[in-house]
Amino acid sequence: MPTVDLHNISDEELYRIAPSEGDRESLWFKKLVTSWENDMNNSAVKIPLLLKELKSYFQQVQTALEGFVLDMNDLAELTFFTGAEPSISGLMRQSHDRLEEARQYRTPPINTSDLCVDSIMQILGVSKTLSEMSSYAIAPPRFFSGRVNTDDWLEGGWWNNRNLECRRNPFFMTLQTVSSPIPWPSTPRVVAGVKTLHCGIGDHLRAEVMPTGIENDGFTIAMDCWVRSTDLKQIEACYLAISPEETDIQCGEEPVTASWRNVWREPDNSNSQISLEEVFFSRPYDKKPTVLVWLVHIDSDKRDIHRIEVSASNVTTRGFTLNFRSWLDSSFFNYKANWIAFTEGRSDINFYEYQWSRPSAGEFCNFYALTKLDADNERNIRVTLNADTVLHPTVETWGDSKLYDAKYIGIRISSCYHSS
C-alpha cells in the first residue's frame, strides 16, 4: 500500500487506495491516531498559554478582593452616615437597609470548598489563597457600636420634635442583648451612655444604663430605674464595644460614683455642689491623653429642678479628676459617670460636643452620651440627641417639657462597625 498523508486524506481517496475493508479499517485507525497526535501537539502549545492567562486572572481576583476588604468599613460608613446611594452593585437599599446591605457584603466568609480554587492558585504559584484572603473579611471588629431601647416599638427614638410615648412603662430593668457580628478572641470592653431620656413627674428622676454579661460573642445593655414608683417612660442607650487588641484606649470597667463625702460648695453665688473623684489609669500614657466623660446613672430629687453636669479636669499621664456638679437649689441622691481615654491626636477618633439651643456641626458619630441636664421638675423630662442629619445633630425636647440646658458628647471612630 502506498504511503499517504492520512491527516488530509478524503473518504474518496481512502476507498481508491484501500479497496478492501481490512485495509480501510487499518487506515482509519491510523488517521484517528494521527488526528489525536495533532490535537495533543496543539494542546501542548496552548495549555501553558492558558495557564499563564489563568494565573493572571487569579492575581487580578486576589488584588480586587484585598482592595474590597480594605474598603468595606469606609463603604459601610459612607452609605449609613451620609444618606448617599453608592454601593458595590450600583444600587443600595434606602434608609436603615443600607447598613444591612453593607454588613451583608462585609461579614460572610468566602466559601471555596466546592470550587477547589485554593489548590489551583497554589499550583499556579499565587502567594495567598482565597481562604487566607477571606480571613481578612471575617476578622472581629476593632470597635462595635449601636443603640438599644427600653421599647422596641420606638425604633431607636428618632424623635424629630414629635411627642411620642412608650406603650408601656418599662418599670424596673429592661435588658437588650447585643451580638457581635464576629466573636472577639477574648472579652471586649464595653461602655454605654444615655442618648434619650423620658421620665414623668410622679416620682424622683431615676435612670441608669450599664453593660452586663460581657462575653467574647456579645453582651447585654441594662436600662434600669430600680424603683417601681419611678415614672420612667423610655431610655435609649448607645453602646461602644472595644476590641481587647485595642490597647491604647482605656475606659471605666465600673462607673465612678459621686461620693457624698467629697461634696463641697463653691465659694461664689452659684451655690454649686461639687464632688471630685480621682480616677487612675491602669496603664500610664506617654503623654497627656484625651479624656471624655458622661452620665450613666441619675437619681435626682423631684422637688427641685434637675441639674447635673460631669466633666474631666487635671488630666495627666496617670489619671484625671472626674467632676460631678449640681448648682443652685438642686439636690440629688446619687450620680454615676463613665469615661474613655486615648492618646491625644489619634487620626481615627474624632469627638464633638452638642448643646441645647446652640447650633452644632460635626460628623455622624458612633456613640452619643448625655453629659449635662438642666430640666424643669414640674414637667415631664424629655431630652434626646437627634442625629438624623450628618452636619447638624441637635439636642431636642418635645411635648410640654421645659429644658433649660443639656449637653452631649459624640465619638466617631473611623474603623468602627456600627449596628443599625
pLDDT of residue 74: 57
pLDDT of residue 273: 83
pLDDT of residue 4: 56
Per-residue pLDDT tens listing for the chain (420 residues)? 555 555 566 666 666 666 666 666 676 667 667 777 777 777 666 777 778 788 888 778 777 776 666 566 555 555 444 444 444 444 444 445 555 554 554 444 444 444 444 444 444 444 444 444 344 345 677 777 777 776 533 222 222 222 223 334 445 578 888 988 888 889 999 999 999 999 998 889 999 999 999 999 999 999 888 887 888 888 999 999 999 889 999 999 889 998 765 566 665 656 778 889 999 999 999 999 999 999 999 999 898 999 999 999 999 999 999 999 998 888 888 899 999 999 999 999 999 898 987 766 666 788 999 999 999 999 999 999 887 655 678 899 999 999 999 999 999 888 777 775
Partner residues linked to 350 by β-bridges: 412
pLDDT of residue 64: 74
pLDDT of residue 155: 27
Are residues 204 and 333 in contact, defined by beta-carbon separation less than 8 angstroms? yes
pLDDT of residue 169: 45
pLDDT of residue 23: 66
